[in-house]
Structures are given as structure tokens and as C-alpha cells.
């Protein structure tokens, strides 16, 4: 199969329309058979549930070309399970896990010419999502829904690739206790937009959000979980009911313990501990592991020992092992790699 003529090495994290996307509709209490379609546009009621009350959830995963030329995805079953949790929390129907994975397979296969080649530095980002499409004017769930999957080739989420980031501790909150921080609902991202624009205007790459009730504990950023390395080489990652259960973070915890023999603590992480950390990274599908060099707390700079020029040594090992597994260079744990073609 001939690849599209794309400058893979210089792709940013943006949208490019690809050839096919998957659509299934939920009507009269059931999902239809679903199909690949050409049209990237959606026509809906002016009063659709998604437009009025933001009833929409999404997922993000990637397809990779491995060193032996296969196209694979990474743990898509976990994305399907998380979307099920997200849908239930927003009173939406569940899209079957097996069908979710099949839809991803169909979209990737149909757009194989857009899957970046091995070693190009780019990947294919896959975006499954679901939204209320029937009219809703009183505050209640829609009766009809649409589930879709599209894909787009992407480069690094942060400009500059793996150069350490500078982030600020935000005065805005991302997710309330007992709210929706643990699911992947569009509304969580809508309310983070003002905070991220503000951070960018002030020259920061991202926000660190704290727990809203005490403002003493580290939660996550707008699009990634945190991973820290202590000065004595332990991996520490925040535990909270209001952060997204990142598939990348869960995978890295396994990699740290089982591949690298490191001690891992999943626990509450206090803002006051930040100055004692040697390394900090943002982990997620889009972010992979993006190193943080500096955290600014209302003007007070907390400089990570790993510095501003490159990834810290433990973060680098985690990065190399995870990406090695994803690209087929390192043997994966059972069930992690889903071969598409
Ligand atoms: N946290 C937030 C808020 C996110 O949007 C994401 C991205 O999906 C993550 C964490 C990382 O999750 P994952 O590793 O499953 O992509
Ligand atoms: C992902 O990593 O898949 C996300 O959804 C994060 C988003 C900020 C792009």
C-alpha cells in the first residue's frame, strides 16, 4: 500500500482529514450496524443534546507502525472500557467493547495510507467519540446518539518534542470532588480552555491543577497525568478520584515495576513535596511522556533536578521502554499490542 505524501517528520498535533471514518447511530434503544463513510461532516438538529448541554464523551488512542512493518494499536480494550464508564456517567448508551475495537480496526485499515511509517516520529491518532444528537431542551439526556471514530496523523503534542516544559500551578480548578474528572467528557476540556489560554499567554506550556477542596494535592494537567521520580529513584504518581485513569500511566506503572525493577508509589502527592522530586513527566496518549523541567507556584520556581535541556534518566528509560513496546522493539505484556494488519 502506498503511503500519502505527507511530511511525517514535521507534523504537529493537529487535525488532517483522512479518507474514511466510522459511524453508528443509536435510535429506538439500539445501535445500528455501523459503517465506514466518506463524509467528514455531521448534520444535526439545532437543538441536539451535544450542542445544548454538552452531552459528549471521547477517547484517544494511537496506531503505530512496528519495526517489522505491522500496524498495531495499544490496549484499545482499555479505551473501550473507559468510554463505557464515561457514557454511563453522562447517561448515554454504552457502545459494546468488541464493536468499539472493531470500529477502530476498520478506521485504521481503511486509512492505512495515513499511518506514519516506522521511525518517522509520527503516529496515527484515533479519536472515538459519542454524542447526543436528538433535540433536547429541558435538561435531560438525549434519546438518540451517534458514535464515530476518525483518525489523523500526528506529531508531538508539545512543540519542541521532548524538550522539558515549564508549567504553572493554576488557580483554576479542573474537576470537582464527586464530579466528572475521572471520565473523558468534553465538558472537562471546555472548562479548561480559559485556564490553558491564560497559561499560554503567561508563557507556560501547561497547567498543574490541584485538588479543588484543599488545594494542597497534585491532580493532573488538562490532558495528561503526572509521573514523578524522587531523588532516591522511586516512581510516584498521584492517586485521586477526580483525575482521568490514564492508560499510559497505568502502563508505565507496570513498565517501571516489571521491566525496570523500580519501586512505584500510587498515592496522594502534596504540592509541598514537589521541591523534593528529581524528575517530572506528563503522561498520556498524546503527551507520551513529556518531561517537565520547571513548575512555577505563584512566582516561586521549583526547578526539577533533571533540568531544562533533556529528559531525566528514569523518565528516559520509561519513555524508551514504553515506546519500544508500542513499536515492537521490546516484547509486550500479554494483550497490550493489538495487531491490525
Ligand atoms: N488526563 C487527561 C485529562 C487526559 O485528557 C488524558 C488523555 O487521554 C490523559 C490524562 C491520559 O490518558 P491516556 O494515557 O489514557 O491517554
Ligand atoms: C489524549 O492523550 O488522547 C488526549 O485525549 C489528550 C488531549 C489533550 C489531546
Angle between helices 247-254 and 76-89 (to 10 degrees): 140
Which ligand minimizes its atom distance to the CA of 244? 1
pLDDT per position in the chain (341 positions), as tens?
A: 899 999 999 999 999 999 999 999 999 999 999 999 999 999 999 999 999 999 999 999 999 999 999 999 999 999 999 999 999 999 999 999 999 999 999 999 999 999 999 999 999 999 999 999 999 999 999 999 999 999 999 999 998 777 999 999 999 999 999 999 999 999 999 999 999 999 999 999 999 999 999 999 999 999 999 999 999 999 999 999 999 999 999 999 999 999 999 999 999 999 999 999 999 999 999 999 999 999 999 999 999 999 999 999 999 999 999 999 999 999 999 999 999 99
Across the chain, which distance is largest between two alpha carbons, in Å?
58
DSSP state of 69: S
Cα dihedral sign for 94, 97, 100, 106?
negative
Please give the C-alpha separations between residue 316 and each of 67, 160, 310, 323, in angstroms, as whole numbers.
20, 16, 9, 10
Distances (CA, A) of 163 to 103, 155, 227, 289: 35, 14, 16, 11
Distance from residue 167's CA to the centre of ligand 1 (Å): 17
Using alpha carbons, select from 115, 74, 124, 126 the residue that is nearest to residue 323. Answer: 74
Mutation to probe ligand 2, out of 57, 60, 74 (largest number of atoms < 8 A from CB): 60
Residue 276: strand, helix, or coil:
helix
**Which protein residue's CA is at the shortest distance from atom 3 of ligand 2?**
60
* Model pTM score: 0.97
- Whole-number Å distance, alpha carbon 285 to ligand 2 midpoint, is 6
> Which residue has a Cα nearest atom 3 of ligand 1?
223
284 lines ligand 2 (CB under 6 A): yes
CA 244 / ligand 1 centre spacing (Å): 6
Residue 263 C-alpha cell reads as: 519501586
Amino acid at each position: 500500500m502506498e503511503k500519502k505524501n505527507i511530511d511525517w517528520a514535521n507534523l504537529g498535533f493537529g487535525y488532517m482529514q483522512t479518507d474514511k471514518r466510522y459511524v453508528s447511530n443509536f435510535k429506538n434503544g439500539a445501535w445500528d450496524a455501523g459503517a465506514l463513510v466518506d463524509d467528514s461532516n455531521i448534520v444535526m438538529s439545532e437543538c441536539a443534546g451535544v450542542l445544548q448541554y454538552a452531552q459528549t464523551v471521547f477517547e484517544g488512542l494511537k496506531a503505530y507502525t512496528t519495526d517489522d512493518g505491522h500496524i498495531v494499536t495499544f490496549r484499545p480494550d482499555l479505551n473501550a472500557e473507559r468510554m463505557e464508564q464515561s457514557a454511563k456517567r453522562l447517561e448515554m448508551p454504552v457502545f459494546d467493547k468488541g464493536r468499539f475495537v472493531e470500529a477502530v480496526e476498520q478506521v485504521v485499515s481503511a486509512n492505512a495510507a495515513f499511518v506514519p511509517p516506522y521511525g518517522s516520529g509520527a503516529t496515527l491518532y484515533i479519536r472515538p467519540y459519542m454524542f447526543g444528537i436528538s433535540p433536547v431542551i429541558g435538561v435531560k439526556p438525549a434519546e438518540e446518539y451517534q458514535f464515530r471514530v476518525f483518525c489523523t496523523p500526528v506529531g508531538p503534542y508539545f512543540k519542541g518534542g521532548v524538550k522539558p516544559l515549564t508549567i504553572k500551578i493554576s488557580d483554576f480548578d479542573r474537576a470537582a470532588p464527586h464530579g466528572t474528572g475521572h471520565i473523558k467528557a468534553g465538558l472537562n476540556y471546555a472548562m479548561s480552555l480559559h485556564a490553558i489560554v491564560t497559561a499560554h499567554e503567561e508563557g507556560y506550556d501547561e497547567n498543574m491543577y490541584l485538588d479543588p477542596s484543599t488545594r494542597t494535592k497534585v491532580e493532573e494537567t488538562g490532558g495528561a497525568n503526572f509521573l514523578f521520580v524522587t531523588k532516591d529513584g522511586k516512581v510516584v504518581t498521584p492517586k485521586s478520584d477526580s483525575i482521568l485513569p490514564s492508560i499510559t500511566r497505568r502502563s508505565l506503572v507496570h513498565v517501571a515495576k516489571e521491566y525496570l525493577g523500580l519501586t512505584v508509589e500510587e498515592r496522594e502527592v502534596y504540592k509541598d513535596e514537589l521541591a523534593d522530586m528529581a524528575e517530572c513527566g506528563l503522561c498520556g496518549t498524546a503527551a507520551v511522556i513529556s518531561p517537565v523541567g520547571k513548575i512555577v507556584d505563584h512566582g516561586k520556581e521549583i526547578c526539577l533536578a533533571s533540568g531544562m535541556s533533556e529528559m531525566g534518566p528514569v523518565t528516559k528509560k520509561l519513555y524508551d521502554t514504553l515506546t519500544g513496546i508500542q513499536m515492537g522493539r521490546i516484547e509486550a505484556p500479554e494483550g497490550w499490542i493489538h495487531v491490525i494488519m
